[in-house]
Amino acid sequence: MGGPPEDASPQGESSSFKAFEAAGWSERAATYGALMARATVHAIEPLLDAAGVVSGSTVLEVASGLGDLSAAAAARGAIPTGVDIAPAMLRAAAERHPELTFVHGDAEALPFGDGEFDAVVGAFVINHLPEPERGVAEMLRVSRGRIALAMWDAGIPLFALPGQAADAAGLLDAAPTGPDAERFAKRENLLALLAGQDGISERTVTFDLEAASLDALWDCVLGGTVRTAARLRDAPEEAKRHFARLAEPYRAAGGGYALPTTVRVVAATRSRDS
């Protein structure tokens, strides 16, 4: 189990957490696509719409992961750039989309100039930032148009079931001190990030995440999350038994599993006062 970070100052906590995230997501660059990217893909078109991305738009994808949102932006005729903190994710994105540009950087200190992009989007990243308000301020800074964020809704089985399985197995958090992973699953907290900006929009996207087997679902958790996977690693077999029991209500009629999943997409244009 992970103990407290060596440097317990807020700054030390933040850099320990970011290093943990960068290493954890790099380790998952080869497994993220199996199922987790098939969940996050549902946010791509709604995010591009909410950010007003059209042919010719320059778009920054913050926390680009495997780069699939950038590829969808390019398919609209836009000119995307991806930025991510995990080196192996960047390599995987570049291999998957060799014609596109992916650069290393921290969402809280974006390596771009003021107003450099027509639109800036961030899918499932805000919950990974030690200073999420700073991340949003950075997105607003580098955008001359809209910014858009996607986040999981509260309590969805994809994350509730592994959490409950870890609880049942008596497993404690194993990550360095980091941000509250659930904070922005609450609608009001997500919208509060955009308070004071103009043209705020909001929509939800609902779908069933289908998995062919329990192993596929479990592999999605271990290979598509960092903090949850760290929590499960000390007793994976016991936790998996609890997970199997908890997943029973989500068995699909035709075999496999179907997890009802809701994603919230919010967007805004930078206010001239901010």
From the list 25, 102, 117, 184, which residue makes contact with ligand SAM (rule: CB under 6 A)? 25
Q: Name which of 37 and 200 has its Cβ closer to ligand SAM.
A: 37
The whole-angstrom distance between residue 1's C-alpha and the CA centroid of its chain comes to 24
Q: Which residues contact 237 (CB under 8 A, 6 or more apart)?
A: none
Is residue 89 near ligand SAM by the rule CB under 6 A?
yes
Is residue 65 near ligand SAM by the rule CB under 6 A?
yes
Task: Please classify residue 272 by burial: count the beta carbons closer than 10 Å to its beta carbon, then call 0-12 exposed, 13-18 middle and 19+ buried.
Answer: exposed
Is residue 97 near ligand SAM by the rule CB under 6 A?
no
Is residue 93 near ligand SAM by the rule CB under 6 A?
no
From the list 72, 123, 174, 190, which residue makes contact with ligand SAM (rule: CB under 6 A)? 123
φ/ψ of residue 263, rounded to 5: -120, 140
From the list 50, 100, 125, 149, which residue makes contact with ligand SAM (rule: CB under 6 A)? 125
Judged by CB under 6 A, the number of residues near ligand SAM is 19
Residue closest to 125 by CA, chosen among 230, 21, 270: 21
Q: Name which of 37 and 235 has its Cβ closer to ligand SAM.
A: 37
Name 120's bridge partners.
Answer: 60, 147
- Least Å distance, CB 167 to ligand SAM, is 22
Span from 18-26, 157-165, 185-193, 256-264 in contact with ligand SAM (CB under 6 A): 18-26
Q: Name which of 125 and 136 has its Cβ closer to ligand SAM.
A: 125
Q: Name which of 67 and 194 has its Cβ closer to ligand SAM.
A: 67
Is residue 63 near ligand SAM by the rule CB under 6 A?
yes
DSSP secondary structure, 3-45, as one string = ---SS-SHHHHHHHHHHHHHHHHHHTTTTTTTTHHHHHGGGHH
Q: Using CB under 6 A as the criterion, which residues of the chain lie in contact with ligand SAM when the complex forms?
A: 18, 21, 25, 37, 40, 63, 65, 84-86, 89, 106-108, 123-125, 128-129
